Amino acid sequence: MNSSQIIELDSKKPLLIDPDRPIYLDYQATTPVDPQVLEQMLPYLTHDFGNAASRSHAYGWTAEKAVDKARQQVADAIHADPREVVWTSGATESTNLALKGAAHFYSGKGKHIITLRTEHKATLDTCRQLEREGFEVTYLEVQEDGLVDLKAFEAAIRPDTIVASVLFVNNEIGVIQPMAEIGRILRAHKVLFHVDAAQALGKVPVDVEAIQADMMSLSGHKMYGPKGIGALYVRRKPRVRVEAQVHGGGHERGMRSGTLPTHQIVGMGAAAELAVQLMDSDAQRIGKLRDRLLKGIQERVEETYINGSMEHRVPHNLNISFAFVEGESLIMALKEIAVSSGSACTSASLEPSYVLRALGKSDELAHSSIRFGIGRFTTEAEIDATIELIAGKVGKLRELSPLWEMHQEGIDLNSIQWAAH
């Protein structure tokens, strides 16, 4: 058999599927560019290569027209005005611009920021930097299901709170925060609301009016667009001001300088439009695959624990802990599937996932968690193969595990005094 085969998808261009590569179930890490999106991007790399800032000739006008169209596509996807969309290099930059930009601009009004312990690092690390600059940050606990307690959220607001930042859909556990309620609370207290919607667009309806967002970070590559492009929504009515973090040329109405990458922007616009178009059909198909995966695992493997609410969750994510096996060895055993582990051993630090720890999970369960990210190109055959692999490999690792043996013998592992190291 050929080492690779071409399969036709719904889209016009074929996607290369290589049977020698692992099954891709890491769609929350990144997604492939949809062939329909790629097709629209390509002309802007070669024939239509102009600089959108060139006002004096047709090359520039063509690029500007393409950028304007994409800006409209992204604005439409989140129910915003195109003048409220600022292009950035990705959601991390968007979040930096939103939080640093607003904190700096409104520092005369107050010094306090609110966020959640389960936010993406782009938010947490930006907040840490703002703390170093003299701002105060409240990192709110979440409940066992990963959702924020609204009463606790409101209680955290102080007279000097200037901005709050909440992750719409969590990247690790896929839970959906009650954004409309949070937006209402913040608006009532006149606190700016930044929403990290990198994992949300294309998975749940995103409407800046419905949730009263003041700023919103978006990413291209999480929704079948290219990497290296993102956007920040900045509300015009009532007007929200952010201080620029990148200077030089005054692009994007002074909020973010730098020549616009036309092809990337076209890709992000096309991806946003497609994401909204396909949201319902994707969610329905992916939801069936997720349910099949969960049922298959639960039927075949005992002592599994789901992390995060199943009720308030996107169907694209399943995060499960396998008790008595360690996460990194599980990832190693599962080399035929590309997934992420809640154990950060892989990134040279031995810390278990801070998100799972925030849910009150023990270090052991946090270490042994696997995030399955299901996406637009996942097939039923891939899900079935995954169930087989999981059942076999977890069984094999448990045979190796002294903890599993002790559990089988009825020993309560919590009753043992483990020597810390």
Which residue type occupies 128?
R
Establish whether 127 is a catalytic residue.
Answer: no
- Give the range of 129-137, 238-246, 311-319, 393-401 binding other proteins by CB under 8 A: 393-401
Coil, helix or strand at residue 86: strand
Nearer to other proteins, 311 or 412 (CB): 412
Q: 167 φ, ψ to 5°?
A: -80, 120
CA angle 52/58/62 to nearest 5° reads 50
Q: What is the DSSP letter of 352?
A: B
R_g of the chain computed on alpha carbons: 23
- Full DSSP string of 156-184: H--TTEEEEEEESB-TTT-BBP-HHHHHH
Residues ≥6 apart with Cβ < 8 Å to 222: 28, 30, 31, 91, 198, 199, 201, 202
Residue 35 is encoded by which pair of tokens? 């062939």
Does 417 engage in binding with other proteins (CB under 8 A)? yes
The verdict on whether residue 219 carries a ligand-binding annotation is yes
Q: How many residues bind other proteins (CB under 8 A)?
A: 31
- Give the range of 74-82, 114-122, 205-213, 395-403 binding other proteins by CB under 8 A: 395-403
Site for other proteins, residues 275 to 334, rule: CB under 8 A:
324-329, 332
- Give the range of 26-34, 277-285, 356-364, 369-377 binding other proteins by CB under 8 A: 356-364
Q: C-beta of 409: minimal distance to other proteins in Å?
A: 10
Look at strands 304-306 and 230-234 and give their pairing: unpaired
Does 346 engage in binding with other proteins (CB under 8 A)? yes
Q: What is the DSSP letter of 196?
A: E
Catalytic residue among 345, 389, 403, 413: 345
Q: C-beta of 421: minimal distance to other proteins in Å?
A: 6
Residues ≥6 apart with Cβ < 8 Å to 128: 137
**Binder among 146, 352, 373, 375 for other proteins (CB under 8 A):** 352
Nearer to other proteins, 223 or 356 (CB): 356
Residue 61 is encoded by which pair of tokens? 């006008």
**Binder among 135, 193, 372, 404 for other proteins (CB under 8 A):** 404
The verdict on whether residue 317 carries a ligand-binding annotation is no
Does 370 engage in binding with other proteins (CB under 8 A)? no
Residue 12 is encoded by which pair of tokens? 């016009």
Known binding positions for [2Fe-2S] cluster? 345
Binding site for other proteins (CB under 8 A): 324-329, 332, 343, 345-346, 348, 350, 352, 362-364, 367, 399-405, 413, 416-421
**Catalytic residue positions, numbered:** 345
Known binding positions? 91-92, 171, 199, 219-221, 259, 345
